[in-house]
Amino acid sequence: MIAYMPQLLLLGLVGAAALFGYKQMKRDAEQVSENNRRSEAESRTGAQGTLVRGPDGVYRIKKD
């Protein structure tokens, strides 16, 4: 059993790195998709940017 321990640890580290990479890739894909949707809507309406309301109640252009 002890002879297999380094392989198990290495397999666990590779699995954890793969899971982390997958989650990061999924998050980045969602951000790109949201940016594409927003820019598509802006070009469809002819807008120059998307306004978001700040905590002080003033509308400002959303920064990427």
Query: pLDDT band at 56, cuts 50/70/90?
Result: very high
Which H, E and C letters describe 3-42, residue by residue? HHHHHHHHHHHHHHHHHHHHHHHHHHHHHHHHHHHHHHHH
Q: Is the pLDDT of residue 1 over 70?
A: no
Mean pLDDT of 1-15: 89
- Residue written as token pair 């940016």: 35
For the stretch 19-41, pLDDT in tens is: 999 999 999 999 999 989 988 98
The per-residue pLDDT for 47 is: 84
